[in-house]
Homo-oligomer: A and B are copies of this chain.
């Protein structure tokens, strides 16, 4: 046990002890193995600066080029990072992977099982797969650091002292006012600040709704959606009932007697279409007739590429819709900020579930987001990202048209992901081929409600926002390589 208390903040300099054991590939390969091992077991913690080529080469008695080659290889593999002026360092989040997993006594199911250092790497932990096309996260390299930093600084300077005391569980009034204005303008949401409750993201919103008693009885959900949300609801005692989808979105005419339904009207997740106008009206009519609620998950409503802006359903019937949004797709999931817009009569229950004081969302981040929205930085960032993602979508569509014209692409009018329709029965093998080729993505089956009754559709869900810009072309290339060939 004593070993785990060793000061792990130690930094290496000339005293990096590596054993170059024999094996295939000579000294260069041995050095790569030794360094990888030192990173893996935590001897080289993240951020550690590695010795210059010259000194490590001298210490080990190898040529300088051998060290340079080894570093370059490990940078390419994601274990190290090299930046102008900052030298070569251990990449963040790489250290202690294997030992930590062992200590925890769990090996998480591998989302990507490729070769080499990627083998068995758990999702948010191990080195990234070479081609990460999983849906769900924006390009992390595009976070608007400077603009966000400006808003944070301004918020920190201008905050009245009481900001640093216990927080209002509804969220800062400044943020709720800024959201009122933004959501009305950008999403057609009708609200006032007093009907907004700030939370830490969509999952937190679902938990609060379940805990508050606002969700009682079974909840209808689209037959394709995030299993994580279904599991979370089940754990909170809310049973989900699948609702079939077609090209017009959820078939709301088939709603059973459920008094609440969770939909993604702007961009069905993951299949990708908007809910048809007539169904938007129909679902709110049904819910108001039975005193029920539509939960509107507007997870990527800002990112629409065609000329048809799809506003929030909430605007049609604010008293029968709970509108839920967050910055997780538009800015970053790292901020942990989201919001609910509630019917007037539900605010008290949700606040009661949230507690006497703000227990979740960072108050300084709330104020920063308020400033970021007010000063126009949010709009600018969304515009910029919309252009970038649109460009990526176009590249994907063009590549598929050229390389795999038999594969249909759907759901590309909006959002951060596309669905590639595959010939029946080919999805599982395409996903397997992708894993082998180092392409991380999910098949539609991963999103299907276990009780769904319509025949399953074969398809791949391709998140085109996730890779950094420079890696995108290669990812699309690799993707084309794993698609099933044309039949017949």
Contacts and interface: CB of A to CB of B under 8 A. Distances in A.
Nearest to A318: B1
Contacts of A81: 160
Contact of A93 (B140, B168, B333, B361): B168
Given A177-B45, A194-B99, A125 B6 contact: no
Contacts of A106: 348, 351-352
A468 interface: yes
Nearest to A5: B190
A332 B164 contact: yes
A192 to B, nearest CB: 4
Interface in A30-45: 42, 45
- Of A106, A166, A361, most buried by chain B (CB within 10 Å of CB) is A166
A92 B159 CA distance: 9
Interface string A162-178: 11111110100110011
Nearest to A232: B355
A195 interface: yes
A96 B173 CA distance: 10
B9 A180 contact: yes
A8 B170 CA distance: 16
A439 interface: no
24 contacts: A4-B195, A5-B190, A7-B184, A9-B180, A9-B181, A91-B160, A92-B160, A92-B174, A93-B160, A93-B168, A96-B193, A104-B194, A124-B167, A128-B162, A137-B165, A164-B332, A165-B334, A201-B359, A203-B359, A333-B357, A333-B358, A334-B358, A336-B359, A336-B363
Interface residues of A, number: 96
A156 interface: yes
A6 B360 CA distance: 29
A336 B354 CA distance: 14
B336 A361 contact: yes
Given A4-B344, A8-B180, A124-B167, 7 more contacts: A106-B352, A143-B164, A161-B468, A164-B333, A334-B362, A336-B363, A362-B365
